[in-house]
Amino acid sequence: MTGIITHGEKRLVLASGRAHPQLAADVARELDIELLPTTAYDFANGEIYVRFDESVRGSDVFVLQSHTAPINQWLMEQLIMVDALKRGSAKRITVVAPFYPYARQDKKHRGREPISARLVADLFKTAGADRLLSIDLHAAQTQGFFDGPVDHLWAMPILTEYVRGRIDAANTAVVSPDAGRIRVAEQWAAKLGGVPLAFVHKTRDITKPNQAVANRVVGEVEGRTAVLVDDLIDTGGTIAEAVKVVLAAGASDVIVAATHGVLSDPAAQRLSECGAREVVVTDTLPIPADKRFRQLKVLPIAPLLARAIREVFDDGSVTSLFDGNA
């Protein structure tokens, strides 16, 4: 029987959609369990069929799906999986969405716009989810959209541990790509030993998606390694321009660090040509060979996900994974 049986017949089950099978396999290996056997396929007209090939009655099920392109297909598949688990009498259903879909649409910029991040949370709840687990939400307040417990994980300890070994802290500055990410950059600066902080002033036309203009650096980066931090990299335009502005301001070199490597075209080309020494992301999303480039470093997120899943299952403390700061 798939899963872990504890005293009182409590059973942990890990189910996965089809978006990122390698991550699912890695998390299962970290938990020392097998994935729930699942049959899933697409009908000719694009509709999705899902059936679990083993009983889930009374189980504590964690449903993992990475929301990569085509994002609407994988979101719908995860919703269908949750519905199937609910109708299969699972005791508790936790949606594990390392990269939360539609997270950037968390507020109305203009009239008659949706708040799609809230809609996604409502859809998960309606489908039957009891709780939600995600990593580095685009805006922390998105946690409030879901009517139930939300475990918001940080990839920062994984990223900072790697970057710390690639820099001389005495000659480093942490740079936020815009003023809105300053708080995260402050935490990075503290983790790297209290290094100086700077940010790139930029302007954005809200009518044109994935376009921003980096203007100037506010803060001291001259002669330093600039660690440019963000939650995600999509088309790479904002980050690539920020790298160029930081180098023009006198930085000796630049390391880019972000949790989610969306890497929509033409991100790989932009990032490989922007002048960054290294671009560091985690594998919350699959990164195929055609999106990889020489400067890219991908760090594993499965150990963090597995530890958090185990803490939730054991009614432990997820906050303790982050030294009480989560």
Low-confidence ranges of the chain (pLDDT < 50): none
Per the structure, the complete domain to which residue 131 belongs is given by 4-154+302-320
Give the annotated binding-site residues for ATP: 45-47, 104-105
Give the annotated binding-site residues: 45-47, 104-105, 138, 178, 204, 230, 234-238
> Rounded to two decimals, what is the model's pTM?
0.93
What span, in angstroms and rounded, lies between the C-alpha atoms of 128 and 125? 5
Residue 325 lies in a domain: no
Query: Which among 86, 107, 191, 202 is annotated as catalytic?
Result: 202
Looking at residue 4, its pLDDT comes to 76
Domain count, the chain: 2
What is the DSSP code string of 119-169? HHHHHHHHHT--EEEEES-SSGGGGGGSSS-EEEE--HHHHHHHHHTTS-G
Looking at residue 152, its pLDDT comes to 97
Tell me, yes or no, whether 279 and 221 share the same domain.
yes
Give the annotated binding-site residues for D-ribose 5-phosphate: 204, 230, 234-238
Tell me, yes or no, whether 312 and 189 share the same domain.
no
Tell me, yes or no, whether 113 and 216 share the same domain.
no
pLDDT in tens, 206-222: 666 766 665 789 999 99
Tell me, yes or no, whether 8 and 143 share the same domain.
yes
Residue 67's domain is classified under what CATH number? 3.40.50.2020
Tell me, yes or no, whether 314 and 260 share the same domain.
no
136 conformational bin, left if phi > 0, alpha if psi -120 to 50, beta if neither? left
Residue 304 CB burial class (10 angstroms; 0-12, 13-18, ≥19): buried
Residue 326 lies in a domain: no
pLDDT in tens, 139-195: 999 999 999 999 999 999 999 999 999 999 999 999 999 888 899 999 999 999 999
Indicate if 202 belongs to the active site.
Answer: yes
Tell me, yes or no, whether 99 and 168 share the same domain.
no
Looking at residue 8, its pLDDT comes to 65
Tell me, yes or no, whether 310 and 293 share the same domain.
no
